[in-house]
């Protein structure tokens, strides 16, 4: 197994990394856009998967191809030799997992960053398979699990919407539930505002400390 760390800082993770790409802040889109172009230029795309499971790949690849290696190096602050080593390793490794967290997800261009990462996995068919896929690690205890199973106050299971009658009916029939809310409940910040207002009298908190982690 090879570990590549993409981080402007040198952290403890770099101690186990085979390669540390000390990328310039917000250089992620350029890094993975350049990777997509490299994969296409070196004939390492999974054309069968692309045809069967994606839309708009031609436009995405055309846009990525406009950024050459020198442009990626300028945008990321990395050397061209570093980029080629990373790109060639990704291209040659069938089982690839890209782990990213809130630094990517919640940045000012988070959607573009995640899209650039996922495009590379879709282009190579490395998604939904053992040992391969983009892997978003969320920042709060079981936040991802809460979204998937309907454990949040403002969302039903599998990201279905509480306000949508068809979604409510589907969940209610699945669980044979006698009742189901028609409006979303309070989100985290709203919940603590309700505590301050006296609308919530008791709150049971497990495995986190919102007094420390919530914004002022």
- How many CB atoms neighbour CB 15 within 10 A? 10
Classify residue 129: in a domain, yes or no: yes
pLDDT of residue 47: 96
Same domain, 23 and 85: yes
Classify residue 146: in a domain, yes or no: no
Classify residue 43: in a domain, yes or no: yes
Same domain, 24 and 102: yes
**pLDDT tens digits, the chain, 216 residues: what are they?**
999 999 999 999 999 999 999 999 999 999 999 999 999 999 999 999 999 999 999 999 999 999 999 999 999 999 999 999 999 999 999 999 999 988 898 888 999 999 999 999 999 999 999 999 999 887 666 677 777 788 888 899 888 999 999 999 999 999 999 999 999 999 888 998 999 999 999 999 887 888 787 776
Helix, strand, or coil here: 90?
A: helix
With 0-12 CB in 10 A as exposed, 13-18 as middle and 19+ as buried, what is 79?
A: exposed
User: 19-21 and 4-6: which strand pairing?
Assistant: parallel
State the total domains in the chain: 3
Same domain, 9 and 90: yes
Of the candidates 73, 69, 77, which has an alpha carbon nearest to the alpha carbon of residue 22?
Answer: 77
Same domain, 64 and 113: yes
Residue 85 belongs to what H/E stretch? helix 80-92
Q: At which residue do the structure tokens 């990462």 appear? A: 117
Same domain, 173 and 193: no
What is the rounded CA–CA span in Å between residue 5 and residue 12?
10
Classify residue 141: in a domain, yes or no: no
Q: At which residue do the structure tokens 């299971």 appear? A: 157
Q: Are 200 and 194 in contact (CB under 8 A)?
A: yes
Same domain, 170 and 196: no
Same domain, 59 and 103: yes
For helices 80-92 and 28-41, angle between their N-to-C axes, nearest 10 degrees: 60
Distances (CA, A) of 158 to 140, 165, 172, 180, 214: 18, 15, 14, 16, 26
pLDDT of residue 210: 82
Classify residue 15: in a domain, yes or no: yes
Q: How many helices, marked H, and strands, marked E, lie in the chain?
A: 11, 4
pLDDT of residue 208: 80
Classify residue 200: in a domain, yes or no: yes
pLDDT of residue 141: 60
Same domain, 165 and 82: no
Of the candidates 96, 94, 92, 111, which has an alpha carbon nearest to the alpha carbon of residue 38?
Answer: 92
pLDDT of residue 171: 94
Domain boundary among 73, 107, 136: 136
Classify residue 10: in a domain, yes or no: yes
Same domain, 162 and 75: no
Same domain, 10 and 35: yes
pLDDT of residue 107: 87
Q: Are 184 and 163 in contact (CB under 8 A)?
A: yes
- As given in the structure block, the two tokens for residue 51 are 């045809």
Of the candidates 56, 51, 50, 38, which has an alpha carbon nearest to the alpha carbon of residue 125?
Answer: 50
Same domain, 166 and 195: no
Classify residue 145: in a domain, yes or no: no
Of the candidates 86, 112, 88, which has an alpha carbon nearest to the alpha carbon of residue 100?
Answer: 112
Same domain, 103 and 155: no
Domain hosting residue 204, numbered range: 186-216
Q: First CA to last CA across the chain, in angstroms?
A: 42
């Amino acid at each position: 197994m090879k570990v590549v760390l993409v981080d402007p800082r040198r952290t403890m993770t770099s101690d186990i990394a085979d390669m540390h790409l000390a990328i310039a802040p917000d250089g992620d889109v350029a890094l993975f856009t350049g990777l997509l172009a490299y994969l296409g230029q070196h004939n390492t795309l999974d054309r069968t998967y692309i045809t069967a499971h994606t839309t708009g790949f031609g436009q995405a690849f055309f846009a990525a191809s406009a950024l050459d290696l020198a442009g990626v190096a300028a945008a990321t602050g990395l050397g061209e030799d570093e980029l080629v080593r990373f790109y060639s390793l990704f291209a040659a490794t069938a089982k690839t997992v890209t782990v990213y967290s809130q630094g990517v997800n919640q940045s000012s261009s988070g959607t573009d960053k995640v899209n650039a990462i996922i495009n590379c996995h879709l282009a190579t068919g490395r998604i939904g398979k053992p040992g391969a896929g983009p892997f978003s690690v969320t920042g709060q205890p079981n936040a991802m699990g809460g979204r998937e199973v309907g454990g949040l106050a403002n969302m039903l299971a599998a990201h279905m919407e509480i306000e949508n009658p068809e979604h409510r009916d589907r969940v209610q029939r699945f669980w044979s539930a006698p009742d189901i809310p028609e409006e979303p409940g309070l989100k985290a910040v709203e919940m603590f505002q309700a505590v301050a207002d006296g609308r919530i009298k008791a709150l049971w908190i497990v495995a986190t400390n919102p007094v420390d982690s919530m914004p002022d």
